[in-house]
Chains A and B, each alone.
Chain A
């Protein structure tokens, strides 16, 4: 990582304890502007805790968390409009149309009505839903809903996008389609992103850097995606097995 790049995410020696349970232990992580980092790990590896720390729902027991230079927990409002998130389920507001859902963040940020409308329409076009602006979530397919959810997160053009297993509930064809969409959008606006996933292949498709988390959340190993076998190749199958063993090995140790 070149030192001149602006750091968007800075997690410095963070520990999180819930009574006697240690969820995160001495975790340090930096993400530079425009970088895409994937977090891989088993259930209970502290991935959700890490997301909660970055969103500001949780304060660390020890250590420091900074997103775009602000503490997400104590300076909660300072990060308004600077973090976007897409979840495993689309979580769309059912009484709002696709357009209304994409406008949501812009409304909260008090952008003008004209800007809300223009930006939301643009982002729906970007995710190929230009003809579905007036449809309600109940009228959209699962893949379409997840596209709206992505457009909603991107529409505010945040400093950081968090994906919490955003493609795991979709069929493989739709998920692959959306992954490509995500990569295109990220490249378009040089978006910084943190992708939490269980899917090893997905992590290496989406990210520049893949971090393997052990229990409690501590970095087992970091991979630079471009230096590893490309997903879909024969070499990647063996590579995936190695990573799988590392995850399972850590869990049983």
Chain B
């Protein structure tokens, strides 16, 4: 590596460190703002309506100690729903993109209709139709995630640079070779990008589905807390869910950094 390249790499590493520090500071500031707001709410409303930060924290520890199995169950349900929705959504999107005039033409309107159905409708219908809670919760999350992933991957394939395709086609590849050289890697980019939004959305709907249609999981425990008018516990589970969401986004971030390391992100000065 030449000295100029080394200097450039050092500069980029320093920029990345600076960005990480700024991001951490931003989060610290956001947490501080939330603590202040909670304390203001606590001092202005009765304690049973608005608990203090210390009450919320002690309830969080209690929830983790006593109901960790429910949290684990929610995490397992989330992983399973996301894995199936991601895998099938990616496959469907890829097929839609590769065979636009057949699979794409038929699947796109179906996915658009599925996407337009409110999550609440899925929850209510599944609760009435399906007796098995695991299948019920999975179906709700899967039906929400699948169209989002499929459409995102489809758009990714459609967005393939025509000039790049021409450069590859000079070697006269088969359709399968075009798929694995261009379409599959390109679809991964869009899949990873959509994972951020879809995962958070699925987590929120999962908790709601558990609240309505399951007796186990974080949602069910939140339902108990609501029945018992246990406001600190509702806040405690909310904190746990926010942390879980951050953990999930952090994992996606790591995957993105590893799998999309070839990308150079541009920053506006």
Chain A residues engaging chain B, CB cutoff 8 angstroms? 55, 76-77, 79-81, 83-85, 87, 89, 91-97, 104-105, 107-109, 131, 136-139, 149, 153, 156
With both beta carbons as reference points, the residue of chain A lying nearest to B264 in the complex is identified as A138
The smallest beta-carbon distance between A49 and chain B, in angstroms, is: 15
The smallest beta-carbon distance between B156 and chain A, in angstroms, is: 13
Chain A residues with Cβ under 8 A from B173's Cβ? 108
Given A107-B181, A108-B177, do A77 and B172 touch, yes or no (CB 8 Å)?
Answer: yes
Listed by A's residue number, 29 A-B pairs whose Cβ atoms lie within 8 Å are A55-B170, A77-B172, A79-B172, A81-B172, A83-B170, A85-B167, A87-B166, A87-B167, A89-B163, A91-B163, A91-B167, A93-B185, A94-B262, A96-B262, A97-B262, A104-B171, A104-B181, A105-B170, A105-B171, A107-B177, A108-B177, A108-B181, A136-B262, A137-B262, A138-B262, A138-B263, A139-B264, A149-B167, A156-B171
User: Are B171 and A108 closer than 8 Å at their CB atoms?
Assistant: yes
With both beta carbons as reference points, the residue of chain A lying nearest to B180 in the complex is identified as A107
Chain B residues with Cβ under 8 A from A105's Cβ? 170-171
Chain B residues with Cβ under 8 A from A109's Cβ? 171
The smallest beta-carbon distance between A60 and chain B, in angstroms, is: 19
C-alpha gap A84/B167 in the complex (Å): 9
With both beta carbons as reference points, the residue of chain A lying nearest to B170 in the complex is identified as A85
C-alpha gap A139/B1 in the complex (Å): 12
Chain A residues with Cβ under 8 A from B264's Cβ? 138-139
Given A108-B177, A138-B262, A138-B263, do A93 and B164 touch, yes or no (CB 8 Å)?
Answer: yes
Chain A residues with Cβ under 8 A from B14's Cβ? none
User: Are B171 and A81 closer than 8 Å at their CB atoms?
Assistant: yes
C-alpha gap A87/B166 in the complex (Å): 10
C-alpha gap A139/B163 in the complex (Å): 20
Chain B residues with Cβ under 8 A from A91's Cβ? 163-164, 166-167
User: Are A94 and B171 closer than 8 Å at their CB atoms?
Assistant: no
B120 at the interface (CB under 8 A from A): no
In this complex, which of B167, B181, B182, B260 has the most chain A Cβ atoms within 10 angstroms of its Cβ?
B167
C-alpha gap A76/B260 in the complex (Å): 34
Given A85-B170, A108-B172, do A131 and B163 touch, yes or no (CB 8 Å)?
Answer: no
The smallest beta-carbon distance between B267 and chain A, in angstroms, is: 14
B37 at the interface (CB under 8 A from A): no
C-alpha gap A182/B248 in the complex (Å): 50
B168 at the interface (CB under 8 A from A): yes
In this complex, which of B170, B173, B261, B263 has the most chain A Cβ atoms within 10 angstroms of its Cβ?
B170
Give 16 A-B pairs besides A76-B172, A107-B177, A153-B170 with Cβ atoms closer than 8 angstroms: A91-B163, A93-B164, A93-B167, A95-B262, A104-B171, A105-B171, A107-B181, A108-B172, A108-B173, A108-B177, A108-B181, A109-B171, A136-B261, A138-B262, A138-B264, A139-B264
